[in-house]
């Protein structure tokens, strides 16, 4: 993500020190999802930094989608049932894939 110069926003501090982040910021950084947190870093120069802290990093979210997890389960079941093939090298694997593609045609 590129860093763009934006107009500063001022956030009010509510009772017990609560700060409400604007909804567009929460959506952009996935902070509206269950388990999302914000990491606070207090720098020596007096700057407070807020960093999104997600239970699953956003670049790995695809793995935890329902569709992907169903496929992972199917692979685990196939392996448990002995439905797998081991190839000696990459060439053998690619040759097998080509055979499968021709069988489908």
pLDDT of residue 75: 94
pLDDT (tens digit, 9 = 90+) per residue, 31-41? Answer: 988 888 999 99
Q: What is the largest CA-CA distance in the chain?
A: 68
For residues 40 and 49, the answer to whether their CB atoms sit within 8 Å is: yes
Structural domain harbouring 53? 15-58
- The confidence band for 3, taking pLDDT boundaries of 50, 70 and 90, is low
Which DSSP helix (H) or strand (E) runs through 39? Answer: strand 37-42
Strand positions, DSSP E, the chain = 37-42, 48-53
45 shares its domain with 74: no
Domain containing residue 54: CATH number: 2.10.260
Give the chain's mean pLDDT. Answer: 89
Q: Give the closest residue to 50 by CA, choosing from 16, 22, 80.
A: 22
Same domain, 83 and 98: yes
Q: What is the pTM of this model?
A: 0.51
CA distance 28 to 31: 8
Q: Which tokens belong to 85? A: 């093939």
User: What pLDDT sits at residue 5?
Assistant: 63
In a domain, 93, yes or no: yes
pLDDT tens column, 47-84: 999 999 888 877 888 888 899 999 999 999 999 999 99
């Amino acid at each position: 993500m590129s860093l763009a110069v934006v107009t500063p926003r001022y956030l009010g501090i509510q009772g017990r020190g609560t700060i409400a982040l604007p909804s567009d910021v929460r959506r952009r950084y996935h902070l509206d999802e269950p388990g999302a947190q914000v990491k606070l870093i207090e720098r020596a120069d007096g700057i407070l930094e807020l960093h999104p802290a997600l239970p699953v990093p956003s670049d790995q979210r695809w793995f935890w989608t329902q569709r992907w997890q169903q496929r992972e389960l199917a692979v685990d079941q196939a392996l448990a049932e002995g439905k797998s093939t081991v190839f000696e090298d990459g060439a053998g694997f690619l040759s097998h894939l080509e055979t499968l593609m021709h069988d489908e045609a």
